[in-house]
Chains A and B, each alone.
Chain A
Amino acid sequence: MKFLCIECDRQMAFAERKLPGDGTLAAVFSCPACNRSVAMLTNPMETQLVASLGVHIGGRTVPEQPFELTRSTVEGGRADAFSDIAAPAGGRPVWDEAARERLSRVPSFVRGMVQRIYADYAAERQIAVITPEVMDTARRELGLEGM
């Protein structure tokens, strides 16, 4: 989808995606000429339809993870269904206690996948220690709402 600023006759640029938490999605677009912003708001059914296709409004920010759709949508998954194998320790960031505690609150069915995404984010940016602040930044930058 594309948005047009009628006054400026310019294509608006995707700015950010938000999940307000009520099962709806907001995608913000801004006009590069006049800076006017609009938000496209989808209702819960539209949001779920997009999610069920395994696609991301605003484009993907991280490569598709194995069983990403299954792990992020299935309810009643076994706690030990997956054994996520981490890359060799060299160069991998460590998790501080607060970040580890926060990670522990993620449902175990999807936890390994979430852990890998944050670890890859930190490794790519040469961040040695993952803290809750790093997780917040990653969520914002990567559009990982809900993780």
Chain B
Amino acid sequence: MRTYSELTEGDRSNLLGQVSAQRERVAARLATVRHVVAVVSGKGGVGKSLVSAGLSAALARSGRQVGLLDADLHGPTAARMLGVRASGLAVRDNEVEPPVAACGVCVMSSDLLLEETAPLSWREPGHERFVWRGTLVAGMLREFLADVAWGALDVLLVDMPPGSERLDTLVELVPSLAGAVVVTIPSDASYRAVRRAVEAARAGRVPLLGVVENMAGYRCGSCRADGPLFDGDAGERLARDTGAPILARIPFDPAMQSLVDRGDVARAAEALGPAAEALMTRLGPPGREERRA
């Protein structure tokens, strides 16, 4: 019997070709984006989305064109931190226009798609969902990258979900990923969880651009003095282990958190301003394209 390769007529389904076309669509969309940067952490609750939102706003404040893709599809928060609420995404011929936050950052998030309290879930069939759920999440991330009219950006920050699994997906979709910013809190538990994510990033040959230690102390709401919050030096240890610089150490500031919860990211942008500049230095001057081998 002849083999697949010996049959000379085309394979009309051409599934491989369809997948390849999807990847080309991502590449074409991101051709006008100078740097795609993932914001990662191996642990939930370390303030990764706050760092993503603050960094993006700080970069926009300095005159850069910035996008923020909230890849935490199951627990999206970044858009609201930037004050962006669902208001009917404009769909034109082959693209979706991203809302623009007051600070100038273009945003896309599953928060803009889902009903207020609805979890991210999928239509039938309802059995054996574990088989294909990951593929659907990857497909949704692909569409967030490929179908949004990001335009010409200096930086597209991708706020990743906790853990390292989705970073592999991002690397496959964006081979030109410039690198990752790692977010931790000072505790030893955080160090160990984030360290695993760092190793996963290294395995995927994702350059580590820097470490942000969040909740590095507590800022008093009355006197604005900083005091201790967590034991540990996870930020320093991660920087030492990886050779990546510490971009910022941010105290937990209830006032700042309260503002961010209301969609006002200005104070967070101020706190992360130096980190944003350090990140841009790590990425290289305008015109220098960072590409992973």
Contacts and interface: CB of A to CB of B under 8 A. Distances in A.
Interface of A: 1-2, 4, 6, 9, 11, 13-14, 23, 27, 44-45, 48-60, 63-70, 73-78, 80-85, 87, 109, 112-113
B interface: dominant SS? loop
A77 B7 CA distance: 44
B131 A53 contact: no
Given A52-B132, A66-B95, A85-B91, A74 B13 contact: no
Contacts, number: 148
A77 B135 contact: no
Given A6-B1, A66-B143, A73-B122, A82 B18 contact: no
B90 to A, nearest CB: 5
A1 B18 CA distance: 13
Contacts of B241: none
Interface string B120-151: 11111101100111011001101100010000
A81 B86 contact: yes
A77 B140 CA distance: 13
A82 B88 contact: yes
Contact of B11 (A2, A69, A73): A2
A86 to B, nearest CB: 10
A113 B91 contact: yes
Nearest to A112: B91
A48 B132 contact: yes
Interface string B78-102: 0000000011111111111000000
Interface of B: 1-2, 4, 7-9, 11-15, 18-19, 21-22, 25, 86-96, 112-115, 118-125, 127-128, 131-133, 135-136, 139-140, 142-143, 147
B12 A52 contact: no
A56 B14 CA distance: 9
Contact of A80 (B4, B22, B86): B86
B168 to A, nearest CB: 17
Nearest to A6: B1
Contact of A23 (B18, B115, B124): B124
Contacts of B86: 78, 80-81
5 contacts: A48-B132, A66-B92, A67-B147, A74-B123, A113-B91
